[in-house]
Chains A and B, each alone.
Chain A
Amino acid sequence: MSAGVLFDAPGPRARVRNAILTAVSVVVLVAAVYFVYARFDAKGQWEGELWKPFLEGSTWTEYIIPGLLGTLKAAGISAVCALIFGAVFGLARLSDHRWVRGVAGAVVETFRAIPLLLLIFFLFFLAPSVFGSGDYTLIALVTGLTLYNGSVLAEIVRAGVRAVPIGQAEAAQAIGLRKSQMMRLVLLPQAVTAMMPAIVSQLVVLLKDTALGYIIAYVDLLNMGFKIIPAVYFGSLIPAAIVIGVIYVGLNMSLSALATWLEKRTRRSTRTAATPIAPPGFVGEPDSTGAGGVGAVA
């Protein structure tokens, strides 16, 4: 039912009420859009002159695409390192040895609690005093992103392995598998399927957080759009911001769509006995499908 359950199939009076509500909201929204448009117009932001650079190939090849590559480079390296970090520490937290569990737990909890920007600043200033002078923007950004997102991924790995029903581990033990065999042959293959959606959601967070590089002057998409392009083409800050905003939103939305698709696939998959785990910070739906709830709306 597309109409939702919060409201009935409308009768005559409700239809009038809904029509009024629709009309009022259309008026308010149009007024808001017009207000923004008029303010932009008053400041001359729709002048063709300001937007012209974005129709020229050279703006894209010289600024926007190199910026995008900078963002993707930082995101790619951090993603690989964070996945390795997450796998190592996530499995360490499941270790049978108490001291391994304790150390891994302390590391993961600490890096999860540190505001990411403070961590990046700290690494940015720490690197020159350890390795001598040089350009450490990429290293500081990647290390910060790795430590933070790796810790979150470690929690996802732990939750994923735990989401595999206990019977699987018991069956593995019953047929005489060793601990490492059980993990490698039985638990991990099922856990990976269950945690894929959560991992992809976390990678969206990682991609968004690469924009923090702007603050330490790493040359990424945001830096190109907010510092370099407005400096080259004077006054085109707003057009540049809109263009790079669209690129960021497009990238993240396609990754998010991938996560949603993976989750749907995992739910009907027969390859794993585990249900997909919720991404961190995401609200679990206790009844797992949520399909019966009030929010079936829209």
Chain B
Amino acid sequence: MDDLIKYAPDLLAGFLENVKLSLICAVLALVLGTILVSMRVAPTPVLRAAGSMYVNVVRNTPLTLVLAFSSLGLSDTMGLSFSETPRTNSFWLVVFGLSAYTATFVCEALRAGINTVPLGQAEAARAIGLTFFQSLRMIILPQAFRTVVAPLGSVIIAMIKNTTVAIAGGYLMESAFVMRDTFDDTGVSIPIFIGLVIAFMVVTLPVGFLTNRLASRLAVAR
């Protein structure tokens, strides 16, 4: 218990990095996922093919590989750089990798949501002369989003837990690294582990609870 109290400030600072990563990646993944799903249902075969190829490849790649490649491949070898400061640079590399990875799951969730929108909605949209983008933006996506709020919540929860893998992307600030560092110093400490687990639950449980409540409130009556 003493270890937990002694290292609490470090662990808290590390955990706040996880929260920061989660917030930024959630926004980027939702935006990118929406773009991807628009590509996958577009009238242009080229866009459909590009969208599904991206999703199938990235979704089947381990996140550890994606992040390690961002750091060792894209940054170290190819010279992709977001910032002069190494710490800021690796932060954005992790954001880049994690959002690119999570977006594929967002896309798949939204696509399943689009599947649940009845055919008549799309036919009605076409009948009143809406173009593809108009019907997607005003008719299909709003209904699709409402049906998949709960699954999107699960995707976001998985993403929050995945922020711990940031260590593979060379970002050595967040809580998993701090925990390993502490264990290296003091040996294994059960209170520290349980403390961090509880910290993650404090974030993930409300996300699950909120999205489930939103899901039942927003459910489209059919």
Contact = CB atoms under 8 A, between A and B. Distances in A.
Please indicate whether A and B come from the same complex rather than being unrelated chains.
Answer: yes
Interface of A: 3-8, 10, 18, 21-22, 25-26, 29, 39-40, 43, 45, 110, 113-118, 121-122, 125-126, 129, 204, 208-212, 214-215, 222, 226, 237-238, 241, 244-245, 248-249, 252-253, 256, 280-287, 290, 292-298
Contacts of A39: 78
A113 B65 contact: no
A282 B114 contact: no
A168 B167 CA distance: 50
A298 B41 contact: yes
A117 B165 contact: yes
Contact of A5 (B73, B122, B161, B168): B122
B62 A208 contact: yes
Q: Is the interface of A mostly helix, strand, loop or mixed?
A: helix
Question: Chain B CB within 10 Å — which of A22, A125, A222 has the most?
Answer: A125
A43 B77 contact: yes
Interface of B: 40-48, 50, 52, 56-57, 60-65, 68-69, 72-73, 76-79, 105, 108-109, 111-119, 121-123, 126, 131-132, 135-136, 140, 147-148, 151, 154-155, 158, 161-165, 167-168, 175-176, 179-180, 183, 187-188, 193, 196-197, 200-201, 204-205
A295 B111 contact: yes
A187 to B, nearest CB: 27
Nearest to A17: B131
A249 B65 CA distance: 11
A294 B114 contact: yes
A293 B46 contact: no
B140 A6 contact: yes
Contacts of A215: 64, 165, 167-168
A280 B179 CA distance: 29
Nearest to B111: A295
A127 B193 CA distance: 14
B151 A118 contact: no
Contacts of B188: 122, 125-126, 129
Contacts of A248: 60-62, 65
Contact of A222 (B65, B122, B148, B167): B65
Contacts of B46: 22, 25-26, 29
Contact of B164 (A40, A118, A252): A118
A117 B73 contact: no
Contact of B132 (A7, A43, A210): A7
A252 to B, nearest CB: 4
B197 A241 contact: no
A283 B179 contact: no
Contacts of B41: 4, 6, 294-295, 297-298
B60 A252 contact: yes
A238 B155 CA distance: 30
Given A5-B122, A285-B115, A294-B115, A208 B77 contact: no
Question: Chain A CB within 10 Å — which of B105, B114, B118, B123 has the most?
Answer: B114
B187 A222 contact: no
Given A211-B64, A290-B115, A298-B40, A117 B167 contact: yes
Contacts of A293: 114-119
Given A7-B126, A294-B121, 17 more contacts: A3-B43, A6-B41, A6-B132, A21-B44, A21-B47, A45-B78, A117-B167, A121-B183, A122-B179, A126-B188, A211-B63, A212-B62, A238-B78, A248-B65, A249-B56, A281-B155, A298-B48
Nearest to A249: B60
A280 B201 CA distance: 19
Contacts of A281: 105, 151, 154-155, 158
A118 B60 contact: no
A292 B77 CA distance: 48
A4 B125 CA distance: 14
Contacts of B45: 22
